[in-house]
Structure 1
Amino acid sequence: MMDESVNPAIPTTAGALLAEEWTINPLATLPSFLEMFMMDEASRSARKSLQAGMTLLQQKLAEQAASTATTTGTSTTTQNDSNGSAEGGLPLSSSSSFSLSYVKSWLQKSSSEFAGTIAKWLERFGPEISCLVLFLLERHCLRSQACATISESLYGGRQAKLDRSTDNNNTQRRKLLPLSDKDRTRLALLVALGPYLRHRMLGWFHKLKSSSQATSARRTLLLKLQKTFVWVYPLLHVWLSSLDLFYQWRYLLGHSVFFHPTSHLLGLVVRRVTQEDNNNTQKSATSTSSGKGSSSSSSYSPTRAQQQSGATKPMQASSNTQTTPMRQAAVWALSSALVLSWMSHFRSEYRRQRQGLIMEQQQQQQQSSSSQLHNYQDIQTDLSLPAAPTSGIKHSMPSHLCPLCQQPRVHPTASSSGFVFCYKCLLQHVQQTGQCPVTGRTCQEAQLLRLYEPNHSTTIQ
């Protein structure tokens, strides 16, 4: 039992920005911020897992319907061929095999149609089905002895009603009361309906945003409402996220006992499970088991029941203590086997998809490398060395003669264009015209270059 001087509705954990080990007080009634954050993350992960499971189920059913449709199409063609051959004169013993194949094809066709229908329903109403499944699970967990949501029960939490009452001295006292059935149903509804509405609103926002960009500029009431929703939704999303952050911040600093706005709306608080709760759970379990034992023993006579009361009571208690753990062990074994089978199936499917993706990437890389090599070879063939360009000036005389006097060069001198003349001939022409005699380019007297070359007779030899 807790001390009456301690108010269970006031958090005693020290608020801190970093949830370190010393900030968690195990003797406090309310969980710490770190525990509440872990519960919130667990519920978010559970919703994502449920959504992924629904998507995977829809894909598998669609693939099964498509594969079964193809197999039934081939089987119908074979049946038609067999029917024609039977009419051609086969014995009557083939009619039984034909009927069996017809029944088999009909079953395959009906199963493919059923799988296709379920896949279409999951594709269209997947979020609604997930919301309904989550509501039923949360409602069952809240109405059980745990009296908490699934994520809260995993971390040792329990829902309680916050009662604000006044005593005789007109002082407000807050205490925690057990939940009623209405509160449990409302909480399960809000827990399942809140994420569903956010998911649907986000889908509508993306859809309307893309459609508003593609539609014309017609001004109708529906288009105005759509544009208003596209404009309002980001503000609403930011406001809701800020509201959640505000409540979590106040809970972290110890200024509030509510971690979510929904809890504040319903007046519900998450508290830790105490030893008294465990004792009450054990008492309720023993009372239900004793009620079953008394109802089963009511068929015997009173005198016989009184005679054998000393022997039957311990036997009933021992049988109840044995059957309850056996049932729990069987349930846990079945659930664990189911979960392990799902995990192995998901893992194999993930590996198969990953291997297919790796193979596609390798094929694309090989194709790109081969195309690059082919292009490189084409470029190499295209980039062959071109032929040497021909000179624009035709040499109509031997190279040892001066182009001006057409005599062997005396004191060879090069102009700015690179042609060699006699020094006297080139100097006179440059002084008169200021240009190269062959190319006509500008050539000054200072640009003339005297050369020293062997005699003409030595070059000819």
Structure 2
Amino acid sequence: MAEHGAHITTASVAVADDQPSIFEVVAQDSLMTAVRPALQHVVKVLAESNPAHYGFFWRWFDEIFTLLDFLLQQHYLSRTSASFSEHFYGLKRIVVGGSKQLQRPATAGLPKEHLWKSAVFLVLLPYLKVKLEKLASSLREEDEYSIHPPSSHWKRFYKAFLAAYPFVNMAWEGWFLTQQLRYILGKAEHHSPLLKLAGVRLGRLTAQDLQAIEHRLAEASEMQEPRSIGEKIKSALKKAVGGVALSLSTGLSVGVFFLQFLDWWYSSENQETIKSLTALPTPPPPIHLDYNSDSPLLPKMKTVCPLCRKTRVNDTVLATSGYVFCYRCVFNYVRSHQACPITGYPTEVQHLIKLYSPEN
């Protein structure tokens, strides 16, 4: 059985001698997928420690990461004919044109058309997918706590979107899974449908490609000093951009070995341990605020809402403080201020808990 499985996983080699195995292509796919949450966690920690200085990076993390990712991928696609993760695993993109495959050295980069197609599928498509997932999550949360009229056109629209999104996402993931299964069985030369849409396939770097890359680096380091001032400025800019790209790629190459540890640290089976280590003690109740005190925040009668100063309707308690309000009053207040009206404790909309009396 093991021999048969090994034969299946290597069956795709018959399609092309330099075609990588399913393990190589899946590993390079997961590399950039692991980089994003690691960087996002770092930015989140910085933003929480100093919101004034680093809050901007957290609010615009998706756009900043997409821009940096585009610069990184464009650099590697134009110089090594591969994305960063593909080059890290010794792979390159080979243009497939009509009845013949266009063999080009890796240092020549991809043709302009295929380079931009690859950049779009590597950078723009994941960005749009992340934004769509966040939109679905926010609409799902709003659907649980919103107070829109039942006949609202907007509510009907996002209900239809929320109903259709899981099936669209399942079809998308199923498309990729089917393509990977065909790749394993040797029925396809692309493990991802996006590679086919870009008009390229993955292949291993040859010895000639490695020698060409080393030769290019040696030539760059031995470049003669430019004579004119314009050439000096142009050369300095090229060196600066190349240095930034090299520093970024080297940092990512070193950091990738740390990503496996982060993946384990934030795995679901390790979350309970993390929570037990980082859990904060429960704060004491605000005993300085009671109905016998002279605080202007609390009404004298326990059946009166502290916000509208009328008899409560649709009693709702805040899980963060324990005080009871009208649902509409406290919903609007928490959504605007993210805090309890009485204690000032940080509060979100999901902390609202409706109360039902036995009469109801």
Note the aligned Cα RMSD (angstroms).
4.2
1:44 aligned to which of 33, 37, 45? 33
CA apart distance, 1:250:
1.0
Aligned mates of 1:161, 1:186 — CA distance in 2: 12
For the residue of structure 2 that corresponds to 1:292, the secondary structure is coil
CA apart distance, 1:336:
6.2
From the superposition, tell whether residues 195 and 280 of structure 1 become closer, same or farther in structure 2 (CA, over 3 Å). Answer: same
- Relative contact order, CA 8 A, sep 6+: which one is greater? 2
Aligned mates of 2:251, 2:69 — CA distance in 1: 20
Q: Specify the alignment match of 1:257 in structure 2.
A: 189
Unaligned stretches of 5+ in structure 1?
A: 1-14, 66-114, 166-172, 297-326, 368-461
**For 1:119-165, what per-residue CA distance to the aligned partner results, in whole angstroms no more than 9, with x for missing partners?**
0x334322222222222221122222x22111111110011211114
**For 1:419-460, what per-residue CA distance to the aligned partner results, in whole angstroms no more than 9, with x for missing partners?**
xxxxxxxxxxxxxxxxxxxxxxxxxxxxxxxxxxxxxxxxxx
Aligned mates of 1:247, 1:287 — CA distance in 2: 41
Q: Specify the alignment match of 2:327 in structure 1.
A: none
Q: Give the AA of the match of 2:204.
A: R
For the residue of structure 1 that corresponds to 2:69, the secondary structure is helix
**For 1:241-264, what per-residue CA distance to the aligned partner results, in whole angstroms no more than 9, with x for missing partners?**
001101111111111111212111
From the superposition, tell whether residues 125 and 256 of structure 1 become closer, same or farther in structure 2 (CA, over 3 Å). Answer: same
Aligned mates of 2:152, 2:78 — CA distance in 1: 48
TM-score by length of 1: 0.46
Q: Give the AA of the match of 1:130.
A: F
Confirm or deny: 8 A CA contact 2:12 2:184 kept in the other structure.
Answer: no
Counterpart check, 1:161 vs 2:101: no
Confirm or deny: 8 A CA contact 1:54 1:122 kept in the other structure.
Answer: yes
Q: Specify the alignment match of 1:199 in structure 2.
A: 130
Confirm or deny: 8 A CA contact 1:16 1:23 kept in the other structure.
Answer: no
Q: Give the AA of the match of 1:358.
A: L
Counterpart check, 1:151 vs 2:85: yes
Q: 1:299-318 alignment to 2 at 5 Å?
A: none
Of stretches 193-202 and 148-157 in structure 1, the one that deviates more from structure 2 is 193-202
Aligned mates of 1:355, 1:38 — CA distance in 2: 27
CA apart distance, 1:266:
1.1
From the superposition, tell whether residues 197 and 249 of structure 1 become closer, same or farther in structure 2 (CA, over 3 Å). Answer: same
From the superposition, tell whether residues 359 and 261 of structure 1 become closer, same or farther in structure 2 (CA, over 3 Å). Answer: closer
Q: 1:361-440 alignment to 2 at 5 Å?
A: none
CA apart distance, 1:355:
9.2
Counterpart check, 1:280 vs 2:280: no
Confirm or deny: 8 A CA contact 2:47 2:57 kept in the other structure.
Answer: yes
From the superposition, tell whether residues 289 and 245 of structure 1 become closer, same or farther in structure 2 (CA, over 3 Å). Answer: same
Aligned mates of 1:28, 1:181 — CA distance in 2: 26
Confirm or deny: 8 A CA contact 1:16 1:252 kept in the other structure.
Answer: no
Confirm or deny: 8 A CA contact 2:13 2:21 kept in the other structure.
Answer: yes
Pick the structure with more helix per residue: 1
Aligned mates of 2:131, 2:66 — CA distance in 1: 11
Confirm or deny: 8 A CA contact 1:148 1:158 kept in the other structure.
Answer: yes
Q: Give the AA of the match of 2:165.
A: Y
Q: Specify the alignment match of 1:245 in structure 2.
A: 177
Counterpart check, 1:124 vs 2:59: yes
From the superposition, tell whether residues 42 and 204 of structure 1 become closer, same or farther in structure 2 (CA, over 3 Å). Answer: same
Counterpart check, 1:136 vs 2:64: no
Q: 1:14-93 alignment to 2 at 5 Å?
A: 17=5, 28-62=17-51, 65=52
Aligned mates of 2:248, 2:162 — CA distance in 1: 49
Q: Give the AA of the match of 1:203.
A: K
Higher radius of gyration, 1 or 2: 1
Confirm or deny: 8 A CA contact 2:22 2:184 kept in the other structure.
Answer: yes
From the superposition, tell whether residues 355 and 267 of structure 1 become closer, same or farther in structure 2 (CA, over 3 Å). Answer: closer
For the residue of structure 1 that corresponds to 2:191, the secondary structure is coil
Identity of aligned residues (%): 20
User: How many equivalent pairs are there?
Assistant: 248
Aligned mates of 1:143, 1:46 — CA distance in 2: 22
Q: Specify the alignment match of 1:268 in structure 2.
A: 200
Counterpart check, 1:228 vs 2:163: no
CA apart distance, 1:278:
2.3
From the superposition, tell whether residues 193 and 255 of structure 1 become closer, same or farther in structure 2 (CA, over 3 Å). Answer: same
Confirm or deny: 8 A CA contact 1:247 1:260 kept in the other structure.
Answer: yes
TM-score by length of 2: 0.57
From the superposition, tell whether residues 211 and 143 of structure 1 become closer, same or farther in structure 2 (CA, over 3 Å). Answer: same
From the superposition, tell whether residues 43 and 334 of structure 1 become closer, same or farther in structure 2 (CA, over 3 Å). Answer: closer
For the residue of structure 2 that corresponds to 1:161, the secondary structure is strand
Unaligned stretches of 5+ in structure 2?
A: 228-241, 266-272, 285-360
Q: Specify the alignment match of 2:277 in structure 1.
A: 358
Aligned mates of 1:192, 1:36 — CA distance in 2: 18
